Chain A
Amino acid sequence: MELQEKTAPEPSRKLHENPDKKRKLALSDKILLRVEKPARYIGGEVNAVMKDPSEVDIRFAFCFPDVYEIGMSHLGIQILYDMFNRREDVWCERVYSPWPDLHRVMKEENIPLFALESQQPVRQMDFLGITLQYEMCYTNILQILDLSGIPLSASGRGERDPIVIGGGPCAYNPEPIAEFFDLFYIGEGETQYDALFDLYKKMRSEGAGRKAFLRQAAGIPGIYVPSLYEAVYRGDGTIAQFHPIEEGVPGTVRKQVVTDMERAVCPERPVVPFLKATQDRVVLEIQRGCIRGCRFCQAGMIYRPVREKSVERLKELAVTMLKSTGHEEISLSSLSSSDYSGLDRLVTFLVEECRKSGVNISLPSLRIDAFSLDVMSKVQDVRKSSLTFAPEAGSQRLRDVINKGLTEEVILDGAQMAFEGGWNKVKFYFMLGLPTETEEDMRAIARLADETAARYYETVPKEKRNGRCQITISTSFFVPKPFTPFQWARMYPPEDYIGRAKIVNNAVKEQLNRKSIRYNWHEADVAVLEGVFARGDRRVGAVIRRAYEKGAIFDAWSEFFDYGRWTEAFAECGVDPDFYVMRERGLDEIFPWDFIDAGVKKEFLKREWKRAMEGVVTPNCRMQCQGCGANQFGGGVCYENQD
């Protein structure tokens, strides 16, 4: 074989020139080629918003303090990113936590953390907003501040530092991280950010300083400026008083709620990551809140009342978002999709629409019944997919305590229907360490799994079986959260939790159908730490800082989590973690988060806590209003049947 013709044409264009000069990456090729997944740090994704810095008044860096693929999957940021960027005078950009490999390089080489869009330092921004979705990201907040070159303590910041804002579910008890933030936004971001931006612009043009701005911002509903409040403690460590230190600063901060979901912002052009994000799909938020009132669930309380979007609006949004992103999958998002009143119509529409265009539908958190099974059999391969049940507790007694209205009969009948429909995989989610839990309740988890397996073998004749049924049980350890009826509850030492998991594990081994059941449990020490952060007070902040100094980051990732580091940090700071988690709290105790009005009243939560102890269930919002206090917002389910 011989080569006849060689081609070595002259260059078609100048090789040395950088074709996209307008956006110079913050990191050098040398660094980007050395770290894992460099596409985490380059920005420039489809639908990312670019603006000319000289044409905006406010630069806002929005941060999800975890790795890119996780942070990009969060709907909340996408909503506010869209809303902020609709303002001509604001440029909102995104920031995520540099993975430990890049973290090391940035520390060594003194490279300041940058926003993805402009690739410019976060420290140059006017605001740094950090969303607080789970407690175990707290050390990552310090990483973000540290890498940005922003003083960790709000009190150490000067006129040139961005205003650091926290928001999201963990802001409902902001106290453990209060010293790191200039202000917190309590509630849904859609309502007051415009007021905050307008105030900022006005005061800056008047030459006002940081302190003066924060003082004024404290007057905007939903805004909490921690430096303007003070906590006084009793000898036993509980709070004696919590109050503003300046005249005119409100004593209570009221959560912000969108009342008109129909007109609420919805990102029509979500950013499409190059990397495969955890949510590599269109996420359609169908409603906010939950009618159910499970007593352990913080989301179910703080997002009250339930507010639905109309089917018509959702149809329109689904089509627009699929077109603008090109995603091949769409999923519905809400705390309990089965309770959405237009589910039937919406899903039927989506199934039709998606069949035409090869789009997959994923339907999380649906109650298993004839309708959902029918829909699921249309959109997924029943032989490969699994059904999910979240009874949360193994026995009916304990399910009554937590107000999870799912009965054994409903579970078994649902599973049977599914087995008849061809499914043979079932996943169960439970919690261990719930208030009043006994050994009997733990063993009931294994029994429920066994009975489910038995249903399979009873229902499906041998020749029709697709092998054994596969039942997977997962348990996590219950962590009491603020603004739930269980906010008074205690936790248990890590050894105790592991003991509970062992009981379940042994009970599984005793079951007749043990070969069809698999059991996994979560780690225990991280649950206890999460508990300390969830219900901690201002004294916990020093521990978080100490742990960060000792190298704690990415605590939500088991490969990086080191409990020993935290034990040392608590000891060195003289803070006793047990004080926050190992005692049942008194009904009259003042909680660090009591100054927040989350809608649900403490009296309602107390009533629910007492009913839990009596094992009495409470009907959901649609069956009978419980007067929880969330009707003060003037919308949603509380007014559904009134005109």
Chain B
Amino acid sequence: MKIRIKFRKYGAMKFVGHLDMMRYFQKAMRRAEIAICYSEGFSPHQIMSFAAPLGVGVTSDGEYLDIEVGASKTSGDAIRDLNAVMADGVEITGYQKLPDNAKTAMSVVAAADYDLFYKEGYHVPASVEQFEEGIEAFFVRPSEVLVTKATKKSEKTMDLKKLVYDFRIRVEDGRPVFYLLLSTGSVDNVKPELVFEALLASMGLVFEADAVQIHRRDVYAARALKADDGFRFCSLGEMGEMV
């Protein structure tokens, strides 16, 4: 049976990297006595895969991992048992059964959305109005927004106009919060810091990684719409049903 687990990651846990989170969950499954399935062989490993890796320093309300179980507790019991063995800073918020033919979270990821904001105690380098104008000039008005991303071997030029689906600003407690909906996954993966850094650069400002908190809100798959060739995003947390 395929199960999708949704969790939040916050607080000090944001310093625990992706690989360590995978090991963390393997142990958590055992502690919570989830009847997870194992691969064959001498060193069997759990059938488990994550949707989209989260960078160190980033918090999230919408992380996903898919597992395969032999038998399942009810969603409510599984969430309760998992939360009983979590470290502070990880909270299980969903446990759903997927259709048997469902593709893994990793392979269907198409987008993720984020909030970015200046952390407490850090100087916000421009006013909300200046940022609004900056987004207009950098992103809304131009017909293409080219940025170059350096990968390990080569450089890749991307048009953000096609890969950033939404870029807005709102105000909370008198401070700007930036909202980004970004293409995510193995094909066109756009990282929020890349977009934000490019915005700041266009405004003549410098991006300081530690000043800005990046918070992932959710991760989405693309669902084709029957009527035309459009599509809509569907949260990975809404693709299954409760057990």
Flag if A33 contacts B12 (CB, 8 Å).
no
Residues of chain A lying within 8 A (CB to CB) of residue B229: 1-2
Nearest opposing residue in chain A for B220, CB measure: A7
A584 interface contact, C-beta 8 A:
no
Whether A33 contacts B165 in the complex (CB less than 8 A), given A15-B177, A18-B11, comes out as no
Residues of chain B lying within 8 A (CB to CB) of residue A42: 12, 15-16
Give the distance to chain A from B164, nearest Cβ to Cβ, in Å: 11
Give the distance to chain B from A287, nearest Cβ to Cβ, in Å: 27
Residues of chain A lying within 8 A (CB to CB) of residue B210: 28-30, 33-34
Other-chain contact of A357, B12, B30, B225 (Cβ < 8 Å): B30
Residues of chain A lying within 8 A (CB to CB) of residue B23: 274, 276, 280
B84-92, B100-108, B148-156, B195-203: which lies at the A interface?
B84-92
Whether A1 contacts B57 in the complex (CB less than 8 A), given A20-B12, A358-B38, comes out as no
Give the distance to chain B from A423, nearest Cβ to Cβ, in Å: 14
Flag if A272 contacts B166 (CB, 8 Å).
no
Whether A380 contacts B42 in the complex (CB less than 8 A), given A5-B232, A15-B117, comes out as yes
Whether A7 contacts B31 in the complex (CB less than 8 A), given A16-B172, A33-B57, comes out as no
A465 interface contact, C-beta 8 A:
no
B207 interface contact, C-beta 8 A:
no
Residues of chain B lying within 8 A (CB to CB) of residue A25: 12
B175 interface contact, C-beta 8 A:
yes
List which B1-59 residues lie within 8 A (CB) of chain A.
10-13, 15-17, 20, 23-24, 26-31, 38, 41-44, 46, 56-57
Flag if A39 contacts B16 (CB, 8 Å).
yes
Give the distance to chain B from A314, nearest Cβ to Cβ, in Å: 20
Distance in angstroms between the alpha carbons of A357 and B30 in the assembled complex: 9
Whether A6 contacts B31 in the complex (CB less than 8 A), given A11-B115, A38-B15, A360-B43, comes out as no
Distance in angstroms between the alpha carbons of A635 and B190 in the assembled complex: 66
Distance in angstroms between the alpha carbons of A245 and B11 in the assembled complex: 53
Residues of chain B lying within 8 A (CB to CB) of residue A13: 61
Flag if A6 contacts B165 (CB, 8 Å).
yes
A147-155, A320-328, A426-434, A552-560: which lies at the B interface?
A320-328
Flag if B27 contacts A327 (CB, 8 Å).
yes
Whether A7 contacts B233 in the complex (CB less than 8 A), given A23-B12, A39-B20, A328-B30, comes out as yes
Flag if A8 contacts B168 (CB, 8 Å).
yes
Flag if B87 contacts A44 (CB, 8 Å).
yes
Distance in angstroms between the alpha carbons of A642 and B115 in the assembled complex: 72
Flag if A8 contacts B27 (CB, 8 Å).
no
Distance in angstroms between the alpha carbons of A20 and B91 in the assembled complex: 12
Chain A: interface residue total (CB-CB under 8 A): 51
What 1/0 mask marks residues of chain B from 212 to 225 whose CB sits below 8 Å from any chain A CB?
01010100100001
A275 interface contact, C-beta 8 A:
yes
Residues of chain B lying within 8 A (CB to CB) of residue A623: none
List which B92-148 residues lie within 8 A (CB) of chain A.
113, 115, 117, 119-120
Residues of chain B lying within 8 A (CB to CB) of residue A30: 210
Whether A275 contacts B31 in the complex (CB less than 8 A), given A326-B26, A328-B26, A381-B42, comes out as no
Flag if B57 contacts A8 (CB, 8 Å).
no
**Secondary structure at chain A's binding surface: helix, strand, loop or mixed?**
loop
**Secondary structure at chain B's binding surface: helix, strand, loop or mixed?**
mixed
List which A319-376 residues lie within 8 A (CB) of chain B.
322-328, 357-358, 360
Whether A44 contacts B12 in the complex (CB less than 8 A), given A7-B181, A326-B26, A328-B27, comes out as yes
Interface residues on B, range: 35 or more
Residues of chain A lying within 8 A (CB to CB) of residue B24: 274
Distance in angstroms between the alpha carbons of A39 and B19 in the assembled complex: 12
Nearest opposing residue in chain A for B116, CB measure: A15
B64 interface contact, C-beta 8 A:
no
Flag if A44 contacts B89 (CB, 8 Å).
yes
Residues of chain B lying within 8 A (CB to CB) of residue A325: 27, 31
Flag if A4 contacts B232 (CB, 8 Å).
yes
Flag if B231 contacts A15 (CB, 8 Å).
no
Give the distance to chain B from A257, nearest Cβ to Cβ, in Å: 34
Residues of chain A lying within 8 A (CB to CB) of residue B120: 16
Residues of chain B lying within 8 A (CB to CB) of residue A32: 15, 57
Whether A358 contacts B44 in the complex (CB less than 8 A), given A6-B181, A15-B115, A326-B26, comes out as yes
Nearest opposing residue in chain A for B20, CB measure: A274
Distance in angstroms between the alpha carbons of A7 and B113 in the assembled complex: 9
Give the distance to chain A from B160, nearest Cβ to Cβ, in Å: 14
Give the distance to chain A from B5, nearest Cβ to Cβ, in Å: 15
A3 interface contact, C-beta 8 A:
yes
Residues of chain B lying within 8 A (CB to CB) of residue A39: 15-17, 20
Distance in angstroms between the alpha carbons of A33 and B86 in the assembled complex: 23
What 1/0 mask marks residues of chain B from 161 to 190 whose CB sits below 8 Å from any chain A CB?
000011010001101010101000000000
Distance in angstroms between the alpha carbons of A5 and B113 in the assembled complex: 13
B71 interface contact, C-beta 8 A:
no
Distance in angstroms between the alpha carbons of A18 and B13 in the assembled complex: 12
List which A455-504 residues lie within 8 A (CB) of chain B.
none
Flag if A275 contacts B20 (CB, 8 Å).
yes
A641 interface contact, C-beta 8 A:
no
A54 interface contact, C-beta 8 A:
no
Flag if B177 contacts A11 (CB, 8 Å).
yes
A237 interface contact, C-beta 8 A:
no
Please report A residues at the B interface, Cβ cutoff 8 Å: 1-9, 11-16, 18-20, 23, 25, 28-30, 32-34, 38-39, 42-46, 272, 274-276, 280, 322-328, 357-358, 360, 380-381, 384
12 example contacts (A-B, Cβ-Cβ < 8 A) are as follows A4-B231, A9-B217, A11-B115, A16-B173, A29-B57, A274-B87, A323-B30, A325-B31, A326-B27, A328-B26, A328-B27, A381-B41
Extra inter-chain contacts (12) besides given A3-B233, A19-B10, A274-B24, CB under 8 Å: A3-B231, A7-B166, A7-B181, A12-B217, A15-B172, A15-B215, A30-B210, A39-B16, A42-B16, A46-B87, A326-B30, A326-B31
